[in-house]
């Protein structure tokens, strides 16, 4: 037996290149916000080349109108910069036997210049005022509200990671890993409608001009994640320590069991308010920027799919931003266990059959998805779906031939 301890450390700087769409196709040209375009036909493999003149003839107009302002759409800062990330880790490994190794590690990162997208050209401060007065407070009064991207987003990640790994020996292999982590950002968990994870664009950035006020758990933050996987060859059959002869060896021999189990925290989500309650001049429908004021405890002792949180714990702000944080609440924890049985059936020297019986979500655990976090709706607080990737128990069998 060997006893060996290894200490590893690492540091890295990663750049994320921001690339725009430079190729057009029939699928990529169609409906933009507030605009309808013809769908030009381009040449595909094996088709004649399409000239520039042919393409231009299929477009409504080659130049913008005399007054281009007032069109709501998606815009990007012309000085947009590539994101970068500083990453580091320290790991200690201990080898106990020839096949068993354990390790603990700290892994962290700090990311800058992420895509931070929100409602731009709204009034910088909420408050009373008529529609005309609010428009006059905008940075560009002659332009409507727009979805605008700046390379100013930040993210923080810290984690403790533990792993026990046994390489395949004596018919047994397993891997147990656990991560305790925290990921924070300022509403920059993704791009456009994915900035806020499960809540999508709702209340990702309540105040576009103050992104620090939206700092909170990332949409993909999973504080606890335990994963267990293993393979075990049953000790029966020829060459095995038990039932190595006779009919029992033929029936019970060459069986292999497989297990994959995962247990993790639920997904964070944001409670949002519908409408322009802060009176900042938002003119884009469906972009619910505001969060409510907290007046009670939204967490229930025994949540159900019909009432996952308490909507009465919130009040809708009037002519102001809400004080409730972003991605504070979480959905149901996710537990899944998959199990399978394989049996090898030798037929000839170079020919083998394998029977497979696989059961997904063998315990039939229903892990619920994210509830409706929009207030003042009939389905507020209600869960209407399962967690992503979770399905009711499924079983399948198959026969595989190898030669």
Angle at 268 (CA atoms; ends 262, 270), nearest 5 degrees:
160
Burial 111-133 (b: 16+ CB within 10 A, else e): bebbbbbbbbbbbeebeebeeee
**Residue 161 CA to chain centroid, in angstroms?**
20
Is residue 293 a part of any domain in this protein? yes
Is residue 141 a part of any domain in this protein? yes
In angstroms, the CA 70 to CA 324 distance is 32
In angstroms, the CA 126 to CA 19 distance is 35
Is residue 369 a part of any domain in this protein? yes
> Dihedrals φ, ψ of 173, to 5°?
-145, 135
At 11 the pLDDT is: 62
In angstroms, the CA 277 to CA 317 distance is 7
At 230 the pLDDT is: 97
CA 369, 374, 375, 376 dihedral sign is: negative
Is residue 311 a part of any domain in this protein? yes
Q: State both tokens at 164.
A: 């026990």
Q: How many CB atoms lie within 10 A of CB 145?
A: 22
Q: pLDDT digits over 225-274, tens only?
A: 999 999 999 888 777 777 777 777 777 888 999 999 999 999 999 999 99
Mean pLDDT, the chain, whole residue set:
85
| Per-residue pLDDT at 366 exceeds 70 | yes
Q: pLDDT digits over 22-76, tens only?
A: 333 333 333 333 444 445 556 667 777 777 777 767 666 656 666 667 777 788 9
β-pairing verdict for 314-315 and 293-294: antiparallel
Domain extent, residue 313, equals 4-16+75-402
Query: Which of 372, 371, 369 has its CA nearest to residue 389?
Result: 369
| Confidence (pTM) | 0.79
CB distance 225 to 261 below 8 Å: no
Q: pLDDT digits over 143-185, tens only?
A: 889 889 999 999 999 999 999 999 999 889 999 999 999 999 9
Is residue 28 a part of any domain in this protein? no
* DSSP summary character for residue 97: S
Q: State both tokens at 154.
A: 């930040």
Is residue 84 a part of any domain in this protein? yes
Is residue 316 a part of any domain in this protein? yes
What is the number of structural domains in the chain?
1
| Per-residue pLDDT at 117 exceeds 80 | yes
Compute the average pLDDT of residues 89-115.
96
Q: State both tokens at 255.
A: 């069986």
Query: Which of 246, 225, 323, 220 has its CA nearest to residue 277?
Result: 323
Burial 165-196 (b: 16+ CB within 10 A, else e): ebeeeeeebbebebbebebbbbbbbbeeeebb
In angstroms, the CA 389 to CA 263 distance is 13
* DSSP summary character for residue 215: -
Is residue 291 a part of any domain in this protein? yes
At 325 the pLDDT is: 93
């Amino acid at each position: 037996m060997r006893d060996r301890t290894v200490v590893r450390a690492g540091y890295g700087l990663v750049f994320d290149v921001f690339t725009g769409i430079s190729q057009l196709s029939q699928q990529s040209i169609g409906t933009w916000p507030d605009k309808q375009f013809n769908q030009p036909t381009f040449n595909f493999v094996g088709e004649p080349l399409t000239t520039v003149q042919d393409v231009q003839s299929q477009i409504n107009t080659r130049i913008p109108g005399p007054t281009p302002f007032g069109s709501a759409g998606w815009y990007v800062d012309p000085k947009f910069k590539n994101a970068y990330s500083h990453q580091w880790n320290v790991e200690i490994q201990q080898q106990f036997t020839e096949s068993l190794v354990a390790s603990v590690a700290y892994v962290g990162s700090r990311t800058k210049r992420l895509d931070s997208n929100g409602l731009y050209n709204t009034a910088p401060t909420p408050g009373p005022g008529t529609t005309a007065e609010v428009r006059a407070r905008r940075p560009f009064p002659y332009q409507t509200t727009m979805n605008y991207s700046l390379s100013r987003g930040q993210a923080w990640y810290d984690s403790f990671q533990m792993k026990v790994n046994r390489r395949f020996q004596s018919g047994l292999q397993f891997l147990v890993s656990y991560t305790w982590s925290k990921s924070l950002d300022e509403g920059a968990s993704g791009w456009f409608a994915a900035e806020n994870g499960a809540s999508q664009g709702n209340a990702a950035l309540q105040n576009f001009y103050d992104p620090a006020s939206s700092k909170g758990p990332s949409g993909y933050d999973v504080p606890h994640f335990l994963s267990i996987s293993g393979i075990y060859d049953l000790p029966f059959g020829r060459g095995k320590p038990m039932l190595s002869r006779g009919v029992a060896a033929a029936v019970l021999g060459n069986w292999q069991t497989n297990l994959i189990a995962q247990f993790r925290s639920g997904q964070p989500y944001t409670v949002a308010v519908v409408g322009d309650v802060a009176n900042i001049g938002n003119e884009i429908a469906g972009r619910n920027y505001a969060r409510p004021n907290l007046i009670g405890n939204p967490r229930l002792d025994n949540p159900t799919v019909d009432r996952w949180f308490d909507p009465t714990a919130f009040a809708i702000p009037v002519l102001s931003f809400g004080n409730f944080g972003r991605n504070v609440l979480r959905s149901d924890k996710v537990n899944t266990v998959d199990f399978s049985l394989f049996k090898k059936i030798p037929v000839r020297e170079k020919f083998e059959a394998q029977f497979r019986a696989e059961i997904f979500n063998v315990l039939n655990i229903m892990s619920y998805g994210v509830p409706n976090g929009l207030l003042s709706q009939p389905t507020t607080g209600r869960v209407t779906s399962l967690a992503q990737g979770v399905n009711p128990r499924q079983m399948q069998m198959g026969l595989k031939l190898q030669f």
